[in-house]
Structure formats: C-alpha cells, structure tokens
Amino acid sequence: MASEPVPFIDGHNDVLLALHLAGDGARPFFAKRAEGHLDLERAREGGFAAGFFAVFVLPETEEERAATRVPAPKPPYAHPLAGSIPTDLAVREAEAIVGLLEELEADGEVCVARSTADIEAALAGGPLGAILHFEGAEPIEPDLANLAGLYERGLRSIGLAWSRPNLFATGVPFRFPSTPDIGDGLTAAGRRLVAECNRLGILIDLAHLNDRGFWDVAELSEAPLVATHSNAHALSANSRNLTDAQLDEIGRSGGIVGITYHAGMLTEAGGVDPDVPLTRVVDHVDYVAARIGIDHVGFGSDFDGATVPTELGDASGLQRVAEVLCDRGYNEEDVAKLAHANWLRVLRATWSD
C-alpha cells in the first residue's frame, strides 16, 4: 500500500437527490451527515477527489416512486417500474437539483468540473470535482433545445435512460437472473442526442441502458463507451450487469467500466447482502481487467443510491478498497489507474476542453 492515500474519481453517486429530498439545501453536505454515504468530510477522509453527481428525477406520486426502489433482496425477481416521466416535471425537478450543485460550488470547496483541468486540480488537493450527470435524459427537451444551455451550466455526462423508458431510449429493468436484452433500442430522438453529445463533448453513460440501446450507441458514438456503475454479468446475472460481449465492445472503444459497490450487483446468488466482502468487488475488477485490460476499469460507487458492503461503509472507507487491491497483487501504478487515472484518460478523450 502506498504511503500516501490514493485519490479516487468515482463514477456515480446520488447525494444530490438525497439533499433534494431532505429539503435543507446544500448546507448538510459540508458537515458529516447522519445518514447516507457521502459528504465533504467523509470525501476528504476517504480520498474521494472527484465524482459524477447524478441528477435523478423521481415520479410525482408515491405509488410510482415506490416502483423506483431497490427490489426485495431474495431472487429471483422482476421488479416493476413506473412509466416515463413527463418532460415538464423532469425539467422542473432537474432545475432544483442542479441548483443544489451550484449551491455546493458557491462555498468554494466544491467545483463543478467543466474540464479535465478541474479534475486534475481536484486530484492535486483542490476543491472536490463534481461532474454534473443526468441519470436518465428526461430533463432534456425532445428537440434538444435546452441541451446547450445545460452544457454551459456544467452538464458533462448523460445516461440516456435510467431503468425506465423515456423519449430517447429504454432502460434495463431490475431483474435477476436476466440478461440486459429487454426492450427496444434508441428512438430517433435518442440517436440525435448521441450525435449532439459527441459534438458538445458530453459523456454518454450506458449503465442503465438495455442491450439494444447499448449496441445502438456503440454503432453511433464516436466517443469511448462508458458504463459508470456496472459489474460483470458473468459473476452476477443481474440485468444491470454487462455481458462479455458488452465488455469487449467497451474495451475495443477505449472506454471504461465503473465497478460498482452496489451489493445487489456483486454476488452469484443475487441478493442484496451488505455483508458481502470487499474482495467480491475486486473479483469483478479482476474479471473485467482480465477480459479487456486494466486500462478500462475504474469504480462507480452508487453512494447514497444503493446498499454498499458494510466493510466499506461510506466514502470515508475508500482507502480500504485500495488496500484490498494491493492484497490481491495490484501494484501502486495499477491501483492509481483503477482509482483515478483510467477515468481521467476517458474524460480527456471525451470532453471538449
């Protein structure tokens, strides 16, 4: 293990949604929150230097919101989901959540990362780098009229769909055991969105996209393929995990897989077990690295959006991940690649700095 803590770039968290639902503004992020996984204090403690901060829009009704929650931990399951979100609701909710991120930036200890220079500064000990990410493209107007304005505000990553369908694509619903081959591919609007993201330099996230949508993006996109928080389907037959063919295509494109700590996507049995050891996370690292190369693997925690291993705990425990990697035989250079360098390479190849 290196004497200095290794900094992490993290592929996914849902802390903005947690702050939005709490209704207390951005202020709780700057102290150690009593709940959840991520705040500034725990980020600094664990070496969380930068990450993708998701904007996720919940449905209006409680009945529909219940359908977005994690499925019962006993497989097999096929979790039902609510339908698509109206654009006007999504735009309104996204505006409020983006406003929270802008509140975080106003304090000076968080920077909305608009360039790789911002990420490099965060890795060097500067303000925490927050990459504005839309988890589901519902807040994008069907004609893409608001996309350029959102880019100017810092939007640098879009997941075309969460696990529900929308005007652009079909997400992969939560099922176990199941492949991701569920539903149709991209719509015409989705294809236009891919092209415009390539033009602007916005990363396209495949983490919640179904199989046909994945291959549509692979055909259309000129950027490296990215799944910000997904694991290997060969080790855990969750519909959200990536098949060998998908992994191969991500490697071929020069992209990256953000291995997630989400307990429901780690084990062969498929249950949501918080006692799953961190060594199981590294099993997924090993598998993906062996198949497509260590340069195409990173981490995507899903902090504040999933059950993570008790052994990890929260963002303050990230150095434990580095320790387990070292125990498994990864050297200091390997650990740096997995923790941040691979992410930085993909961002350099994708963003229009």
Q: Do 233 and 245 form a contact (C-beta atoms < 8 A)?
A: no
The number of folded domains in the chain is: 1
Domain residues for 33?
Answer: 8-350
CATH number of the domain to which 210 belongs: 3.20.20.140
pLDDT of residue 63: 72
2 within a domain of the structure (yes/no): no
**Mean pLDDT score of the chain:** 95
Q: What is the pLDDT of residue 65?
A: 77
Q: For residue 82, what pLDDT is reported?
A: 75
> Residue 1 falls within a domain, yes or no?
no
Residue 88 is classified by DSSP as H
Q: Give the per-residue pLDDT at 84.
A: 83
| pLDDT band, very low/low/confident/very high, at 74 (cuts 50, 70, 90) | confident
What amino acid is encoded at 45 in this protein?
Answer: E
Residue-wise pLDDT for 297-333, tens only, equals 999 999 999 999 999 999 999 999 999 999 999 999 9
Does some domain include residue 296?
yes
Is 3 within a domain?
A: no
Question: To which H or E segment does residue 166 belong?
Answer: none
Residue 348 to residues 117, 149, 171, 298, Cα–Cα distance (Å): 9, 22, 27, 15
The answer, yes or no, to whether residue 3 has pLDDT greater than 70, is no
Distance CA 323, CA 27 (A): 32
Place of tokens 């700057």: 30
Task: Report H helices in 86-134.
Answer: 87-106, 116-123
Listed in sequence order, the DSSP H helices in the chain are: 15-22, 40-46, 62-66, 87-106, 116-123, 147-152, 188-200, 211-220, 244-252, 278-292, 318-327, 332-336, 342-350
pLDDT at 268 over 80: yes
Which position has the token pair 């855990």?
236
* 41 contact partners, CB below 8 Å, separation of at least 6: 30, 31, 32, 316
